Amino acid sequence: MAKLFFETYGCQMNLAEADSLVTKSEQRGHTIVECPEDADIIIINTCSVRLTAENHVIGRLGYYRMLNKERHDRDLRIILMGCMSENVGLEVKKQFSDIVSILWGTYNKDLFLDYIEDLVVKQESLGFGAAYSFMPATPSKEYSFKAFLPISHGCNKHCSYCIVPKVRGLEKNRDFQEIIDNAKQLVDEGVKELCLLGQTIDTYKHEGKRLPDLLETIARQSGAERITFLTSHPREFLYETIELMNTYSNMMPFLHLPFQSGNSRILKLMKRNYNIEEYLEKVENIRKIRPDIILSTDIIVGFPTETEAEFEDTLKAFKTVRYNEAFMYRYNTRPNTPAENFEGQVDEEDKLRRLDILVRTHRGIMSELLAGQIGSKTTALFDRESKYSDKIFAETGQKQYLGRTLNNTVCIVDSSVDLRGNVLAVELYDSLNAVMKAKLI
């Protein structure tokens, strides 16, 4: 049996798959080690969406090469798994042929366990191809009371900046009943919050059943205390999913709806298939159904040819919607995407300046929105201690716990009892930077 170390980068889908792999590895009798220095085999579950994620993995491989040279008892083996393997795996393997034993793509990740016992097998590139099998989701290794539950894999969109369709292939939907059974199983194992995952989750379809059917069945039957889903595509988005939030109290009133740019010409270049007017109309309709919904988004600044005026459009749309949470990036070229060859790349300096303006704008909006929640009562699922907990404990005898409210806002509570893993009623009484101060009620 092998000692395995898992290292995971990127999206929630990667995290969900890694959690399942860790569970399966343990069931097969392998030992999961806490640090790479103790491992026989390191599995790096990679991400190719941004250059920084790829560079980080290259840096890690450099470190592992050094680690391997210092070892005298056994060789370190590395399985490079996931999106980077699909995208640039052969180049990486060539560069690190001394330590990277296997390239494993984004398909059938669980089957790699069949190869672990004998890593000198001939195959060097595995897990690529058309057949994708969903692994049963398991409770998160970080927080056992939460779980990511993949319901689809891959994407049929072809946004010009995105590597996902290339590295994860076309969309494949998971069996409806299998998802329901998996959801119930997770709740039986102690999971309180389920997050359904799909690259464009609104397009889920299986034997006539769609996302609202799935959410409703899970809300009614699984026993989960909180249910949410990621990621919605503005064009495909279904209003029924918001209506369910009004019917089922365990549906979190939270929606991640990336808009990427506030300018319709740029959206067209990005091949997003909606314009900004359509996007804003959707937001307005969503808020008519659920006025207190919390929205989050993804934004890219400095897409090729984006002018200053077009960036201003993004800023304007951003201020119109007023997102509670925003994941903001400056565009960087990804190899093997259509936008790689676009002319009119924006200067790095301009991208950074635009990003800085956006980030500062977001901070201002977020603190106003948080202030607007002062005095409200809700529930929160507590998942961790704050990094200041020990300091607070030394001063007050109480520790500090962080949780997420039902609408996904981060809150912080002082308590002499360990709150982790509990869903508790709270009152939000103040805001501090990006979090709400709360007390138990």
Binding residues for ligand SF4, per CB under 6 A? 155, 157-159, 162, 164-165, 199-200, 233
**Closest by CA position to 263, among listed 313, 317, 318:** 313
Helical packing angle, 176-188 and 211-221, nearest 10°: 30
Between 65 and 157, name the residue whose CB sits nearer to ligand SF4: 157
User: Which is nearer to ligand SF4, 81 or 162 (by Cβ)?
Assistant: 162
For the bound state, the minimum distance from the C-beta of residue 23 to ligand SF4, rounded and expressed in Å, comes to: 26
Nearer to ligand SF4, 249 or 336 (CB): 336
DSSP letter string, 72-95: SS---EEEEEEHHHHHHHHHHHHH
Of 233 and 290, the one with the shorter C-beta distance to ligand SF4 is 233
Which residue, 231 or 405, has its beta carbon nearer to ligand SF4?
231
Beta bridge mates, 150: 197
Distance CA 57, CA 52 (A): 9
- The Cα 435–Cα 157 span in angstroms is 35
When computed from its CA atoms, the radius of gyration of the chain, rounded to whole angstroms, is 23
- Integer Cα distance of 37 and 42 in angstroms: 10
> Closest approach of Cβ 62 to ligand SF4, in Å?
29
Q: Which residues contact 15 (CB under 8 A, 6 or more apart)?
A: 8, 140, 148
Closest CA to 50 of 164, 171, 199, 170: 164
User: Which residue matches tokens 């981060």?
Assistant: 410
- Least distance CB 214 / ligand SF4 (angstroms): 19
Q: Are strands 423-432 and 435-440 parallel, antiparallel or unpaired?
A: antiparallel
Cβ closer to ligand SF4: 159 or 317? Answer: 159
The minimum distance between CB 73 and ligand SF4, in angstroms, equals 43
Alpha-carbon distance values, 51 to 55, 78, 123 (Å): 6, 21, 28
**DSSP secondary structure code for residue 340 in this structure:** G
Which residue in this structure is represented by tokens 């007050």? 396
> Which CB sits closer to ligand SF4, 342 or 393?
342
